[in-house]
Amino acid sequence: MEVLTGGKNVDLLIQQALEFLPNTVVIADERKLNVVKNALFDKGIKVFAGNEAIEQVVQMEEIDLVLTAIVGFAGLASTISAIKAGKQIALANKETLVVAGEFVTKLAQEHGVNIYPVDSEHSAIFQCLVGEFHNPVEKIYLTASGGPFRGKDIPYLASVSKAQALRHPNWDMGAKITIDSATLMNKGLEVIEAKWLFHLQPEQIDVIVHPQSIIHSIVQFKDGSMKAQMGLPDMKLPIQYALTYPHRLTSTFKRFNFLDYPLFSFEQPDKKTFPCLELAFHAMNKGGNMACILNAANEIAVSAFLQDKIGFLKIPDIIGEALQKVNYSAKPSYEDYVNTDRETRKFASGMISK
Ligand code: MN3
């Protein structure tokens, strides 16, 4: 490993740097530079700080592939920087494609860069497409666990706590994505991500709730045949596959046991109770900067919910309002995305302080 980066969790960054001994380490939070420097001083590891440093290190000559895992809009700039330098991308930051999918996929094409999905559903689709060359895809089904509030109604959701929302039934993930799973916005963002990754029309993408989270997604081909990718819900596999494609590395990951899961079930997502999914489809259909508005409003709303400033049901309210009120632009440039993001954050924050 050449470079390891982290946001503000210095302890974990130092621990990982000592384990993997990269040549360079970057901490995004500049206030923590000296702590990291001191800890790694005698290992000969170069240490930098700040977002600009991240944008620079991804262009280093020694690097072949960049795993982009910064959460939210914040991951966009460094991903673009890596693509411009011709680095292959293993994409864990779905917001990059949600916010600026058209721009990013076009840029990647121009620079001969492949984007390998890390998101488990997209990794599943990617794995199902291996060997299918130009066989036409009829549609894809993204599977959803339904999150911690599957089957609940609006009166119940009105009073759910942060702690309840953070308790995901199947996946162990960061706070932002776990709340997104509870509102079903995560699936909405993934629908948009899939559109750009696999060059699909909106009507070719469907969502099906599969509470066991064993089937990670499904491709249906033009002849009606369906392929699914299965496994225990653990991010280690999709991360590894993005790094080793087209090869499969021997692993000791826990194996699936059929008798632990004698029944698989499927149901329609409850779009009435969880309007975020519908809002995401709406933003995708409208195109332009709509998904950028959707994402920024969601980031602000989720962060406010995590700070106990708003209730759970206010999250889709804020996003819906932002989609209506923030200026629409049909053909945004990179600067337009940056402006839309800033404008939407201001608008959504205004709705929270009210
Ligand atoms: Mn996912």
The 10s digit of each residue's pLDDT in 40-84 is: 999 999 999 999 999 999 999 999 999 999 989 989 999 999 999
Tens digits of per-residue pLDDT, 160-215?
A: 999 999 998 888 888 999 999 999 999 999 999 999 999 999 999 999 999 999 99
CA-based end-to-end distance of the chain: 47
Going through the chain in order, the beta strands assigned E by DSSP cover: 3-6, 24-27, 46-49, 65-68, 88-91, 115-117, 137-144, 205-209, 215-221, 226-230
Distance 121 CA to ligand 1 centre (A): 5
* 86-115 core/surface letters (b: 16 or more CB in 10 A; e: else): ebbbbbbbbbbbbbbbebbbebbeeeebeb
Domains 3-117 and 287-354 share a fold: no
Distance 225 CA to ligand 1 centre (A): 23
pLDDT of residue 1: 87
With CA atoms as reference, report the closest residue to 185 among 352, 317, 345, 350: 317
For residue 104 the two structure tokens come to: 């990013």
Distance 118 CA to ligand 1 centre (A): 8
For residue 34 the two structure tokens come to: 């000296």
Distance 190 CA to ligand 1 centre (A): 7
Distances (CA, A) of 58 to 25, 106, 217, 271: 11, 19, 31, 39
C-alpha span between 50 and 28 (Å, rounded): 4
Q: Per-residue DSSP letters for 180-231?
A: HHHHTHHHHHHHHHHHHHTT--GGGEEEEE-TT--EEEEEEETTS-EEEEE-
- In CATH, which of 3.40.50.10800, 1.10.3720.10, 3.40.190.290, 1.10.1740.10 is domain 287-354? 1.10.1740.10
With CA atoms as reference, report the closest residue to 214 among 247, 178, 261: 261
Is the link from the previous residue into 233 a cis peptide, with omega within 30 of 0? no
Distance 92 CA to ligand 1 centre (A): 9
Distance 123 CA to ligand 1 centre (A): 9
- pTM assigned to the model: 0.95
Distance 61 CA to ligand 1 centre (A): 31
Q: Is 167 left (phi over 0), alpha (psi -120 to 50) or beta?
A: beta
Distance 173 CA to ligand 1 centre (A): 10
Rg (CA), the chain: 20
C-alpha span between 211 and 170 (Å, rounded): 8
Taking only the tens of pLDDT, the chain with its 354 residues reads 899 999 999 999 999 999 999 999 999 999 999 999 999 999 999 999 999 999 999 999 999 999 999 989 989 999 999 999 999 999 999 999 999 999 999 999 999 999 999 999 999 999 999 999 889 999 999 999 999 999 999 999 999 999 999 998 888 888 999 999 999 999 999 999 999 999 999 999 999 999 999 999 999 999 999 999 999 999 999 999 999 999 999 999 999 999 999 999 999 999 999 999 999 999 999 999 999 999 999 999 999 999 999 999 999 999 999 999 999 999 999 999 999 999 999 999 999 987
Domain boundaries, the chain: 3-117, 120-282, 287-354
Distance 38 CA to ligand 1 centre (A): 37
- Which superfamily is assigned to 3-117 in CATH? NAD(P)-binding Rossmann-like Domain (3.40.50.720)
C-alpha span between 322 and 185 (Å, rounded): 15
Distance 298 CA to ligand 1 centre (A): 17
In contact, 143 and 216? CB cutoff 8 Å: yes
Backbone angles phi, psi at 24, to 5 degrees: -135, 145
Distance 177 CA to ligand 1 centre (A): 9
Distance 17 CA to ligand 1 centre (A): 27
Number of H helices, E strands in the chain: 15, 10
C-alpha span between 225 and 235 (Å, rounded): 27
Structural element, H or E, at residue 12: helix 10-20
C-alpha span between 144 and 266 (Å, rounded): 9
For residue 313 the two structure tokens come to: 């049901």
For residue 220 the two structure tokens come to: 């249906």
Distance 120 CA to ligand 1 centre (A): 5
